[in-house]
Amino acid sequence: MGVEWFRRRYPFPPDLAIPPCWFLHSIAVEELTALMVAYDAAYDQPEPGSDLAAWHVMWCHPTLARLGDLARWDECSHTTVDGCAYVTATVVEDVEGLVGVVYDDVLGRDPAPD
């Protein structure tokens, strides 16, 4: 199961839909990968059972219900990959390195208006 197939097969309403820039949102990549692995496991059973229905109820719908907030789809234009305004947060584990990150961030900003 790939994300593009999933987007076509499951045309969810806009509040649950996966936008074209999904792969730019690191948490979306992780959540959708986990969803794909669960899907593969559910559909790869040797005998018919309830795993297929359980995947939808236990994994698919809850994942999509929370993914928009976690991945912050609201920061995107949702029309093109180029329109994605989401920026992955920089994680700094050493305090001294934080100074360099802040300095680089400030230098990269547009000048304040007069």
Which residues constitute the domain of residue 46?
Answer: 3-86
pLDDT tens-place string over residues 18-58:
888 888 888 999 999 999 999 999 988 888 889 999 999 99
Tell me how far apart the alpha carbons of residues 86 and 65 are, in angstroms, rounded to a whole number. 19
**Number of folded domains that form the chain:** 1
pTM of the model: 0.67
- Residue 85: which pLDDT band, with cuts at 50, 70 and 90? low
Residue 73 within a domain: yes
Residue 109 within a domain: no
Residue 62 within a domain: yes
Residue 103 within a domain: no
Tell me how far apart the alpha carbons of residues 25 and 84 are, in angstroms, rounded to a whole number. 10
